[in-house]
Amino acid sequence: MQPVILLIEDSENDILLLRHAFQKAGLSRALNVVRDGVDAMSYLLGLGEFSDREKNPVPSILLIDLNMPRLNGLELLAWLRNQPEFAHLMIVVLTGSARKEEINTAYKMGVNSYLVKPTQAQSLQRLVDAFYQYWILQNHLPDPVPLTDLPLGAARRAAKSKR
């Protein structure tokens, strides 16, 4: 069974290129996409439009862009690391930034890997193929935990109380 991957990316061009690369690598059905950190939080918590877990299953891997509107990748990472129910997630930053301070900050925040998006389609395909080989084939990822089996975090309790 393929792990579920949640891509958090705001660029339509990057989404199209990544979907194509993941499809060529044999992972197209495993890739779900949200456009920013706020939607990623809703997806992970199973709120609103993301409440259907058949359509929006709990991911095993997050691919996070850093530069996004509303809630950027570093802000999302800070939130994630304060949610014990998501400690099992493999987190890979996939961004256009190669700035050392962002790389160091991301690793200090506990990401498993930091990848800089190549600008060439062939290089992107090689990166996705390497991602597939290492993170999917070589690692033994935990099975996704159904949201109903997770303890409710403070963010989910707060979101539910606002309804």
**58 neighbors 86 (Cβ within 8 angstroms):** no
Question: Is pTM beyond 0.85 here?
Answer: no
- Residues 20-30: pLDDT tens digits? 998 888 776 77
CA torsion through residues 39, 40, 41, 43, sign: positive
* 42-75 residue pLDDT tens: 999 999 999 999 999 999 999 999 999 999 999 9
Strand partners, 115: 94
Domains of the chain: 5-161 (3.40.50.2300)
